[in-house]
Amino acid sequence: MLIAISMCIIPILMSGFFAYLISWYILKRKIDFVKNIFDQEKFFKFPIILDREKNKIFIPYFIFIILNTLIFIIFCFIFTPSDDGYLQYMLLIGIIYIISIISIIWFIVLSIKKNKNIKFTNSEEEKDFIINQLEIGKTYEDKLEQINLQNSSNTYNMYLNLAQKRYIKRIDKSLTYEKIYELFLKYIRANCWILTQMLSKENIKSNIEINKKLQDIPEIIFKNFWNSVSRVFE
């Protein structure tokens, strides 16, 4: 039993760091992947992360706090007050629990400081962008079937087309501006994740023809969505 407890100590003490890594990856997928694919200096400028998403970044921390608390409660019932070394045992797990919570809080503070440099978009900016795209989206050509990276990338080609269709088919006239933009961000992030995976593969990097096609895909992805939205809201 003591071996099992000792094996849990390091993961519990490291839980703040684990939560920080998860939070970092969430931000990386929501922001960095999109920025890398959609170079906003040369391409479309659009809000990448919303103000209402700010609190979601801290979800991993609260999950680990709840998990550590549950583990602490379970460990409290392993021994009874009549057992030898009960007080020492309770003192030990109590110290470990407190240190783990302090560690998580410290990493939360670190995340808050780091996230100060992130520009979270407010609802007015979001609404202005949607209204603008509803108007000019009518001029975009629907190129849904033009995403074709040839046989050497059939798997990724399939993923890109699935990501396109999965989110575009959910566009509905009953959606509010808020819901439309949330759907757009999910759509963009899913496509950017697939493209990021593609660009990390050596056989893709070395294929000049595929790389030339990849340069056009972000524009196709963007325009397909807003073309579909503008047609639904006509």
| pLDDT at residue 62 in the model | 94
What pLDDT is stored for residue 64 in this prediction?
93
**What digits encode the pLDDT tens for the residues 198-213?**
877 766 666 667 777 7
Residue 185 host element (H or E): helix 177-199
Which pLDDT score is estimated for 76? Answer: 83
**E strand intervals along 85-132:** none
pLDDT of residue 7: 57
The radius of gyration computed from the CA coordinates of the chain, to the nearest angstrom, equals: 24
**Cβ-contact 34, 194 below 8 angstroms:** no
Q: How confident is the model at residue 184 (pLDDT cuts 50, 70, 90)?
A: very high
Asked if the model's pLDDT at residue 61 lies above 90, the reply is yes
Residues 167/225, Cβ–Cβ less than 8 Å: yes
Task: Identify the band that residue 231 occupies on the pLDDT scale cut at 50, 70 and 90.
Answer: confident
Instruction: Taking residues 64-88, report their average pLDDT.
Output: 83
Full-model pTM: 0.77
Statement: residue 233 has pLDDT above 90 = no
At 72 the pLDDT is: 87
pLDDT reading at 218 higher than 50 = yes
Query: Looking at residue 2, what is its pLDDT?
Result: 53
* Closest CA relative to residue 36, chosen from 206, 222, 199: 199
Residue 151: predicted pLDDT: 47
Average pLDDT (24-51) is 79
- For the chain, the average pLDDT equals 81
Q: How many CB atoms lie within 10 A of CB 60?
A: 24
| Residue 146 clears pLDDT 80, i.e. is over it | no
**Range scoring the smallest mean pLDDT among 19-23, 162-166, 170-174, 176-180:** 162-166
pLDDT band of residue 102 (cuts 50, 70, 90) is very high
Residue 42 has pLDDT above 60, yes or no: no
Surface-to-core class of residue 171, CB atoms within 10 Å of its CB (0-12 exposed, 13-18 middle, 19+ buried) = buried
The DSSP result for 30-50, as a single string, is: IIIHHHHHS-TTTS-----SB
Domain boundaries, the chain: 2-117, 123-232
- Higher model confidence: residue 90 or residue 201? 90
